[in-house]
Chain A
């Protein structure tokens, strides 16, 4: 097969999930409750005793941002409350193991594997096909059929495009196309379901390469008749490796013509242990899958994320049919309300019947989470979802900032669009725990609102010399410190074993595109489905617009610090303690913002043998 940039990462293997520990869970619950209590105490003091009356607009702005951010803390504690991994069972053999046959003759279960593609390099998709063909299954009579779902219609009709059909035929797998792209990926899956017959089907993206035991380790869950889908963690095996600081320094000296073996050894001794730029794009979703989504098993609220999931056909068809019937009923009720006669109602009904489609996955840019919400809210069937803890497939991550932002912008806009149009908080059928978990996801996309305040507050102080609080007195720290420290301990326990540094940095650094996504949804703009490029794309010139706000904030912050230092040296600064506090805050912000700037200018180093790979 043709080598790609990711070929050098073939030997990488995924992490093992952190084993559950009931004592750690109990400790987390304890610190979580204490953290929330301290948070309430802090906010109570903030609102009642700390607002600076001489800068009330600033004081209220910051206190409001802190209050909104505190809601996130509460939601996170609830989300992480407990872990409830589903019991693993051996793989299935017969249909009767997953559903009632009602007297129908029993037979081996049928499993389909869908590989959805649009415009990815066909040789890249071939990797996924080859790995899918290697899927193990202990029962020879269980038919596992692989289908390429080509929304790019690359069947040879257009000689300018690569021929996906030819690759499918060479590999001996099925090939399905449709003559339009309505509904994006959801529409593609609909077409696949209309043309296949698996009782269960796995969804893979063009770059998703399943490990051989992907089905063996997951199909057994469907023995429980109410399991609608199983999601496995998405793992990116091509995240940027760490670079040794000593290597970078020596390389720079080499480029300057100042290479010296002795100096190189000294630099290696001093800086050899320091690494940076590991996963510079923050692509590793381990925090999301292992901490957030896995713990939602407790509430039966783990939603589908698309690639790496396996579905029960009957579940998605049930949703599709009931939705279809509901649309007809809504029309009838509307027409009856308008006092139309029977003939008119019959004609309108017929017209809608002909027009309305049976849609298994909601036609939406975030079809996965939307469909999950609908299935969770199905009061008739009470579907269950399972977040499987082990990594069972590997995928490719975005390799440049522009692609990364486009992908995450779609996630943000998609989730926010759902929040405004079909808010899960008000959806009938969802349990309280499910509503809280879905709300937590949506609320996280409102983070740029308070993040912007947190980023701008130090600068407001630097240039107006107004403090948002009366004073950085002992009282302030008496309330602030215990809350912040306990909060940090709580999150560490909740995310035990998982590096959160990159996630925290990108949480702050993502403020701008998330704000733009929020504005676009509020303005009513249609959420676009952008296919994320999976090949390596270098678009340095495109990246600058993404980091301009970050550069502005850093520049203004530095100017503010210098300006304040001048005032301090003149002896006329009204609050040196305020300056110290805001400078610390500012420096932390700048460190977080810098990650996206570094990502914008990151280029792959051809001499990667000097870097540390996992």
Chain B
């Protein structure tokens, strides 16, 4: 399971504690919990896209859960709804 630290993934926010994004692997799909994330900037979204690309290179599918409505709306507005899976 790919471990993702907040500061590595969202290195631009920089003010998060050095802990990992909670995640679990089920049937080969890695799920990451966005429960504690209030908002994502465009730069954060770029980092997420890089994460998806990195995972795809390893043949791993990534999905995000407990994504709040604000972040979902942002993802849809940026046209990333089919790239960042967060149903």
A interface, CB within 8 angstroms of B = 99-105, 107, 197, 313-314, 317-318, 320-322, 324-326, 328-329, 332, 350, 353-354, 358, 380
Contacts and interface: CB of A to CB of B under 8 A. Distances in A.
A328 B79 CA distance: 9
B8 to A, nearest CB: 12
Given A105-B15, A314-B42, A321 B56 contact: no
12 contacts: A99-B41, A100-B39, A102-B70, A105-B15, A313-B12, A313-B43, A314-B41, A321-B80, A324-B49, A353-B52, A353-B83, A358-B46
A321 B46 contact: yes
B50 to A, nearest CB: 8
A65 B41 CA distance: 51
B67 interface: no
Interface in B1-31: 11-15
A589 B42 CA distance: 53
Contacts of A358: 46, 49-50
Given A102-B39, A318-B42, A321-B49, A107 B15 contact: yes
Contacts of A100: 39
Contacts of B41: 99, 314, 317
A353 B53 contact: yes
Contact of A325 (B15, B38, B57, B78): B78
Given A322-B79, A325-B78, A353-B53, A104 B38 contact: yes
Nearest to B43: A317
A102 B38 contact: yes
Contact of B56 (A105, A328, A354, A380): A354
A317 B42 contact: yes
B12 A326 contact: no
A358 B52 CA distance: 13
Interface of B: 11-15, 38-39, 41-43, 45-46, 49-50, 52-53, 56-57, 70, 77-80, 82-83
A197 B46 contact: no
Contacts of B56: 350, 353-354
B77 A354 contact: no
A329 B14 CA distance: 32
Nearest to B13: A104
Nearest to A106: B15
A332 B45 contact: no
A145 to B, nearest CB: 12
Given A104-B38, A321-B80, 11 more contacts: A107-B15, A314-B42, A317-B42, A318-B78, A320-B42, A321-B45, A321-B79, A328-B82, A350-B56, A354-B53, A358-B46
Nearest to A100: B39
Given A321-B80, A328-B83, A329-B79, A103 B49 contact: no
Contacts of B52: 353
A321 B11 contact: no
Nearest to B84: A325
Nearest to A314: B42
B31 to A, nearest CB: 19
A103 B39 CA distance: 8
B46 A317 contact: yes
A103 B38 contact: yes
Contacts of A350: 56
A325 B79 contact: yes
A358 B42 CA distance: 11
B29 to A, nearest CB: 14
A603 B57 CA distance: 58
A104 B77 contact: no
B79 A326 contact: yes
B11 A104 contact: no
Q: Which 4 A-B pairs have the closest CB atoms?
A: A325-B79, A102-B39, A317-B42, A103-B38
Contacts of B42: 313-314, 317-318, 320-321
Contacts of B77: 380
Contacts of B53: 353-354
Nearest to B48: A321
Contacts of B12: 197, 313
A313 B83 CA distance: 22
Nearest to A380: B77
A59 to B, nearest CB: 54
Contacts of B43: 313-314, 317
B70 to A, nearest CB: 7
Contacts of B38: 102-104
A51 B13 CA distance: 69
Contacts of A326: 79
B86 to A, nearest CB: 14
Nearest to A329: B79
A100 to B, nearest CB: 8
Specify which of B15, B45, B79 lies most central, judged by the most chain A CB atoms within 10 Å of its CB. B79
A593 B4 CA distance: 64
A102 B12 CA distance: 15
A314 B40 CA distance: 11
A359 to B, nearest CB: 10
A220 B57 CA distance: 43
Specify which of B39, B42, B50 lies most central, judged by the most chain A CB atoms within 10 Å of its CB. B42
A98 B80 CA distance: 25
Contact of A322 (B13, B15, B78, B82): B78
Specify which of A100, A105, A318 lies most central, judged by the most chain B CB atoms within 10 Å of its CB. A318
Contact of A104 (B39, B78, B83): B39
Nearest to B54: A354
A590 to B, nearest CB: 55
A332 B12 CA distance: 31
Contacts of B57: 354
Contacts of A318: 42, 78
A380 B53 CA distance: 26
A322 B46 CA distance: 10
Specify which of A107, A321, A324, A354 lies most central, judged by the most chain B CB atoms within 10 Å of its CB. A321
Nearest to A320: B46
